[in-house]
Structure 1
Amino acid sequence: MQAGRIRYRLTFERAVKLKNDAGEIIVDEWVVAFRVWGSIEPVSGREYLTASEFRAGITTRIRVRWRDDLDPSLRIVCAGTIYNIDAILPVQGLHREAQIMCGSGVITEGGSP
């Protein structure tokens, strides 16, 4: 991994799960799991027109140094943008660098885009 490319400070957040009064598990808030430096590369953009709504989606590749506590249940926050993790891939299987495929900007409420 080239040091010049890892210029973004990324915050990985973990969901804190609590039970409500009815005993259902809910996500109450997101807390910081850890912070690392990494690179962000937009891979593709998509635009949708669904049910008279404009929906935009961006697929992004985020690269960080490998950590054993990387988990798809985490989310990444950088400069006010939230990235939902779709997959974590070790580069060449060496566990030195991780490629994290993320989605951002896709509205999924009320149906899939």
Structure 2
Amino acid sequence: MQAGRMRYRLTFEKPVRIRDESGEVIVDQWIEAFKVWGAVEPLTGREYMASAEFRPGVSTRIRVRWRDDLDTSLRVVHQDGTVYDIVAVLPVQGLHKEAQVMCGSGVVTEGGQP
């Protein structure tokens, strides 16, 4: 992993879940879980086609240092305000030093389900 590529400040947010009158779980708001430095890489056409075979909607790969609390319940907010929905978290070569966070775009940013 090259630290120089990790030049973007990324905020990972987790949902605060509440129940409505019928008992259904809804997302009321998102709160900051942690901030990290990472690399944001839009997928090329070939990579997109390969990832779409098993991950529909994947459009961006985010590389960060491995953390045990990375999972698909979180979302990523780029320092420019772009919001990404996490589709999968993959350890690079199974070493748990770097994670590839496969993301989709077009995420709802205010209230409601992402």
Q: Alignment length, in residue pairs? A: 97
* 2:92 corresponds to 1:97: no
Q: Deviations over 1:51-77 (max 9, x none)?
A: xxxxxx770010000000001110000
Secondary structure of 2:69's counterpart equals coil
Matches of 1:69 and 1:24, distance apart in 2:
25
Distance in structure 1 (CA, Å) of the matches to 2:59 and 2:22: 37
Q: Cα RMSD between the aligned structures?
A: 2.0
**Separation of aligned partners in 2, 1:86 and 1:63:** 14
Matches for 1:11-90 after TM superposition, within 5 Å: 11-44=11-44, 59-78=59-78, 79-90=80-91
Distance across 1 between alignment mates of 2:24 and 2:13: 22
Higher strand share: 1
| Aligned-residue offset at 1:25 | 1.5
| Aligned sequence identity (%) | 67
- Looking at structure 2, the residues matched to 90 and 18 of structure 1 have their Cα atoms a distance apart, in angstroms, of 31
With the length of structure 1 as denominator, give the TM-score of the two structures. Answer: 0.78
Q: Give the superposition deviation at 1:23.
A: 2.4
Q: Which runs of 5+ in 1 are unaligned?
A: 47-56, 108-113
Question: 3-state DSSP class of the match of 1:35?
Answer: strand
Aligned to 1:53: none
Q: Residue 67 of structure 1 aligns to a residue in which SS? A: coil
Pick the structure with more helix per residue: 2
Normalising by structure 2, what TM-score?
0.77
Unpaired runs of at least 5, structure 2 = 49-56, 109-114
Q: CA offsets per residue over residues 15-66 of structure 1, 9 Å max, x none? A: 11001233221110000000000000000479xxxxxxxxxx7700100000
